[in-house]
Structure 1
Amino acid sequence: MFTTRPELVGTHGMVASTHWLASGAGMAVLEDGGNAFDAAVAAGFVLQVVEPHLNGPGGEVPAVFTTAADPTPTVLCGQGVAPRAATTAHYRDLGLTLVPGSGLLAATVPGAWDGWLTLLRDHGTKRLHDVLAYAIGYARNGFPLLPRVPEVVDTVRALFTDHWPTSGALWFGATGARFANPTLADTWARLLAAAKGPSREAEIDAARRAWSQGFVAESVDRFCRLPFRDDSGRDHPGVLTGEDLATWSATYEDAITADFGDWTLAKCGAWTQGPVLLQQLRLLDGAPLSYVDGIPTADTVHHALEATKLAFADREAWYGDDEVPLKALLSREYAADRARLIGDAASFDLRPGAPDGRHPRLPGFLSGPPVQVDSPGAIGEPTVRPDGTTRGDTCHLDVVDRWGNLISATPSGGWLQSSPTIPDLGFCLGTRAQMFWLEEDLPNTLRPGKRPRITLTPSLALHEGRPTMAFGTPGGDSQDQWQLCFWLAHTVGGLNLQAAIDAPAWHSNAVPSSFYPRGFTPGEAHVESRLGDQTLDDLRARGHALVDVGPWSLGRLSAVATRDGLLRAAANARGMQGYAVGR
């Protein structure tokens, strides 16, 4: 099969990410003797600089990893929680039925700094200044600006001019081929200056405290007391405080796993959408899946789309940072019962199941006529409205080293366009609280100290019990749909990493959006035209409302693997910025 690039093969180390500069920084760390975790942290911080419309220091990072010493998949939770003052009553008293998708009211505790530093402390080998130097250099001296960044700034120009002047002061300068953010570089330099201690680990912990209990928390607290316009059309101050930052830290937990033949797939828990990929694969067990010359058949795409609708309906009814019946949701018996709902025609209904006989309850907001909204940015870039509302988002990176350490991470949040810039820090806060519901007694109802049910969903796979592959993609609600395309192309179609990434992709827009204003389009699916006219005609005949988005449009996947003594890597040519590097 034709591929846009070769699958990289080597023995020293591999880094794949959504931006070539991040991949290069990660590889530089591996060449300097660092391990996969050192490289991931360096690449993650560079992504905050070079993809500022997709993630930033005020955002979050979930990751799933294994170490050379322990093949058990572990999750790093760098997702901050709702502030203590973020109650449903507070938001309803403001006349809101949804948490706004922009501004300060949607901020959770920023988790990326503590998440990356916790990973570096516990599993890395480098000192903080070694891995942060790459990002500081790009922030201070400038970096090649992606064309998408000034396009985003132009979209929200009126908002920045009239309501968010601190953002305008920083980002109206993002017009040329090179851009710098020296204020952000100064913030990181101050954090490094605080990184003092008798050991590498003590230095890292001191820098963590300087963020959560020092000048960063103080600046965040002051700024959140000010009212700013959000996409409700009104000005609101935030509810996040310095005390919220001081009392939160990143954590580890066991990954959620499920077996599929010789493969085991590991995902983050149901505080993310991660288990929906496991559910989709359970639903497809026994389905007529096949590939011809690297292209999925109409039966494959149809069954995948229908399995997606069922799995994501369960996401809406059951997922959240509360007790979730995952054992039942992932059981083969439950999946087999649910798979009987997949017929020859496309479904237009939102149909959650009843695991363990429990009665499903969808948010009341989804019970009325669907809100029609634009689809997420096709290649994982954000769809941005003039009021700062953003759908689609995010970055991704994967690293494997010569010792067998393996990590997949999906950093996001703190987008330049969705919250006003804190002027003395050089970055803005995240808006992940928009994914909560304000309706009471749902698994994903807003509650202080609770994690929102996020779309970020890195993946790690074991083959015959051995950690083998890390992969993922940006794309909001489409992430676990595009990853399904990749997984099927690799495990069913037999394609290598690069060919599986390049294979034609699709996703359903019948999935309710996790982003304000929470819309969806029943029956609609976006498809790449390379599926072929005959397949597209077959899918239309089955009732799918197809939108042909062209030959190369969907996803920004990357992947690394270790198998048979060789390391492999691949990245998406779509969007022309993701790259894999290695040797």
Structure 2
Amino acid sequence: MNTSRPVITGRKGVIAAGHYLATSAGLKMFAKGGNAIDAGVAAGLALTVLKPNQNSLGGECPILVYSPVEKKVVSISGQGTAPGKATVQWFKDNGIEVIPGDGFLGAAVPGLFGAYCTALMKYGRLTLKDVMEPAIDLAENGFPLHRGLRDCILFEEKKFREHWTTTADTFIPGGRVQELGEAVKQPALGKTLRKLVQSEEAFRDKGREAAIQAAVDCFYKGEIAEEILRFSKNTPSMDLTGKKHTVLLEMEDFIKYQTRIEEPVYTDYKNCRVFKCGPWTQGPVFLQQLKLLEGFDLKGLEHNSHKYIHTLVECAKLAFADREKYYGDPDFCNVPMDLLLSEEYNKKQRNRVDMGKANNNRLWEEINNNGSDINIG
């Protein structure tokens, strides 16, 4: 593929992020003596400021790390858990058939901060203050409004003005959508980030890991969790049900939450071993696609020819259909990952790819997994 962009190389490290200022934040960690994990955490925290329309402290963060010391890849579960009150019966009793994708009803315990801190404690070198400095600067002093964020603000402008007025205070300051390049400032977020750093600083004499853990406790067991619940329980929010609701989360949900380090899911494709987080994410879908494509002669198809694209799309559809049918929280349902990645299963699935037409029928395969029940949690 021809491109005008140069190949990026480095002698001590390379970082790529979704915004150039996040990349810059990561590079600064190398200058401080940090490693790749420090750089990744700094870039990720910066992105919560730079791209709040795509990720935030209230969101999730699946992480894969290769540990040169342990000589293995690990998965850090940055997916928050659902509220204890969020039962099937509760939604039935309240006449809700589908959990809305906006508002408070779908809110889980935020997993992102715990995941980043776990990565930092276990595999990084620097302090939380070190890696959070760029994010604090961007929140307090601002960054140039970019097209992706502005387009999102314009798309949601009516909702912000009528229902999410505190969001409008931040992203429609003075009642006006800012122009591209104007400084976006988020002082409340900056205050939150500083509070977390202050919690770390208060325990600095206890050692690096204990100090970072103090910030984690502030978020999940202290002031931050309390403020999240105070706002979301006292500010009913309009959602796609057409009604206003408050959050189902309780303090107990935050206190019980623990970030976990887990074994990743992997498959071998040609000469590569490819890793993903578990089926609590959609990551294994990519592994399923690779297993399906392994049985096709992609090299023999002209790159981006209609047959090439058709093969990729049909295999993707089969893999995503399995996601809808079988994926879920392994703590609550049996996800037959070994079977889904097995050659026997994928050989049968490949036979469902018709090179002459698109398959728009029911795509998932009923799996008889030795009599075990398969549910979505």
TM-score, normalised with respect to structure 2: 0.92
Higher mean C-alpha displacement, 164-173 vs 206-215: 164-173
Aligned counterpart, 1:290 = 299
Aligned counterpart, 2:270 = 261
Aligned counterpart, 2:211 = 203
SS at match of 2:228: helix
Once the two structures are TM-superposed, the CA of residue 157 in structure 1 deviates from its matched residue by 2.1
1:175 maps to amino acid: Q
Once the two structures are TM-superposed, the CA of residue 105 in structure 1 deviates from its matched residue by 0.6
Aligned counterpart, 2:239 = 230
Aligned counterpart, 2:40 = 40
SS at match of 1:9: coil
Question: Residue 290 of structure 1 contacts residue 297 of structure 1 at CA under 8 Å; is this kept in 2?
Answer: no
Paired with 2:79 and 2:321, the residues of 1 have a C-alpha distance of: 23
Paired with 2:222 and 2:376, the residues of 1 have a C-alpha distance of: 31
Aligned counterpart, 1:168 = 168
Give a deviation string over 1:266-324, Cα, whole Å, max 9, x none.
0111111111111111112231212789x433322111111111111111111111221
Paired with 1:14 and 1:304, the residues of 2 have a C-alpha distance of: 30
Aligned counterpart, 2:363 = 351
Q: CA 1:66/1:141 → structure 2, altered by over 3 Å: closer, same or farther?
A: same
Once the two structures are TM-superposed, the CA of residue 151 in structure 1 deviates from its matched residue by 2.5
Question: Residue 171 of structure 2 contacts residue 184 of structure 2 at CA under 8 Å; is this kept in 1?
Answer: no
Gaps of 5+ in 2: none
TM-score, normalised with respect to structure 1: 0.60
SS at match of 2:135: helix
Aligned counterpart, 1:178 = 183
2:351 maps to amino acid: R
Match of 1:337 among 343, 348, 362: 348
Q: State the Cα RMSD in Å.
A: 1.9
Q: CA 1:212/1:357 → structure 2, altered by over 3 Å: closer, same or farther?
A: closer
Once the two structures are TM-superposed, the CA of residue 442 in structure 1 deviates from its matched residue by 6.5
SS at match of 2:116: helix
Aligned counterpart, 1:563 = none
Matched, 1:190 2:200: no
Question: Residue 25 of structure 2 contacts residue 134 of structure 2 at CA under 8 Å; is this kept in 1?
Answer: yes
Paired with 1:223 and 1:359, the residues of 2 have a C-alpha distance of: 46
Paired with 2:255 and 2:49, the residues of 1 have a C-alpha distance of: 25
1:178 maps to amino acid: A
Match of 1:323 among 310, 320, 334: 334
Once the two structures are TM-superposed, the CA of residue 73 in structure 1 deviates from its matched residue by 1.4
Matches within 5 A, 1:421-570: 443-445=375-377
Question: Residue 170 of structure 2 contacts residue 185 of structure 2 at CA under 8 Å; is this kept in 1?
Answer: no
Q: CA 1:121/1:357 → structure 2, altered by over 3 Å: closer, same or farther?
A: closer
SS at match of 1:95: coil
Gaps of 5+ in 1: 361-440, 446-583
1:338 maps to amino acid: Q
Once the two structures are TM-superposed, the CA of residue 234 in structure 1 deviates from its matched residue by 0.5
Question: Residue 289 of structure 1 contacts residue 297 of structure 1 at CA under 8 Å; is this kept in 2?
Answer: no
Give a deviation string over 1:200-244, Cα, whole Å, max 9, x none.
111101111111111111111212223211111111111012221
Q: CA 1:291/1:33 → structure 2, altered by over 3 Å: closer, same or farther?
A: farther
Higher normalized contact order (CA 8 Å, seq sep 6+, divided by chain length): 1
Paired with 1:351 and 1:104, the residues of 2 have a C-alpha distance of: 32
Once the two structures are TM-superposed, the CA of residue 28 in structure 1 deviates from its matched residue by 1.2
Match of 1:217 among 225, 232, 249: 225
SS at match of 1:61: coil
Paired with 2:243 and 2:61, the residues of 1 have a C-alpha distance of: 30
Aligned counterpart, 1:136 = 136
Q: CA 1:357/1:8 → structure 2, altered by over 3 Å: closer, same or farther?
A: same
Matches within 5 A, 1:264-413: 264-290=273-299, 295-321=303-329, 322-344=333-355, 345-356=357-368
Higher mean C-alpha displacement, 282-291 vs 90-99: 282-291
Once the two structures are TM-superposed, the CA of residue 59 in structure 1 deviates from its matched residue by 0.7
Question: Residue 30 of structure 2 contacts residue 39 of structure 2 at CA under 8 Å; is this kept in 1?
Answer: yes
Once the two structures are TM-superposed, the CA of residue 356 in structure 1 deviates from its matched residue by 4.3
1:349 maps to amino acid: N
Paired with 1:316 and 1:336, the residues of 2 have a C-alpha distance of: 20
Paired with 1:23 and 1:170, the residues of 2 have a C-alpha distance of: 24
Higher mean C-alpha displacement, 218-227 vs 335-344: 218-227
Question: Residue 139 of structure 2 contacts residue 186 of structure 2 at CA under 8 Å; is this kept in 1?
Answer: yes
Question: Residue 295 of structure 2 contacts residue 350 of structure 2 at CA under 8 Å; is this kept in 1?
Answer: no
Question: Residue 288 of structure 1 contacts residue 299 of structure 1 at CA under 8 Å; is this kept in 2?
Answer: no
Matched, 1:70 2:70: yes
- Total equivalences in the alignment: 364
Question: Residue 318 of structure 1 contacts residue 443 of structure 1 at CA under 8 Å; is this kept in 2?
Answer: yes
Higher mean C-alpha displacement, 126-135 vs 343-352: 343-352
Once the two structures are TM-superposed, the CA of residue 155 in structure 1 deviates from its matched residue by 2.1
SS at match of 2:14: strand
Answer 1 or 2: which has greater helix percent: 2
Question: Residue 220 of structure 1 contacts residue 241 of structure 1 at CA under 8 Å; is this kept in 2?
Answer: no
1:219 maps to amino acid: E
Paired with 2:274 and 2:363, the residues of 1 have a C-alpha distance of: 25
Once the two structures are TM-superposed, the CA of residue 71 in structure 1 deviates from its matched residue by 3.0
Once the two structures are TM-superposed, the CA of residue 359 in structure 1 deviates from its matched residue by 9.0
SS at match of 2:85: coil
Runs of 4 or more off by more than 3 Å in structure 1? 354-360
Question: Residue 276 of structure 1 contacts residue 315 of structure 1 at CA under 8 Å; is this kept in 2?
Answer: yes
Matched, 1:51 2:51: yes
Paired with 1:271 and 1:18, the residues of 2 have a C-alpha distance of: 23
Answer 1 or 2: which has greater strand percent: 1
Aligned counterpart, 1:379 = none
Question: Residue 107 of structure 2 contacts residue 247 of structure 2 at CA under 8 Å; is this kept in 1?
Answer: yes
Question: Residue 64 of structure 1 contacts residue 267 of structure 1 at CA under 8 Å; is this kept in 2?
Answer: yes
2:278 maps to amino acid: G
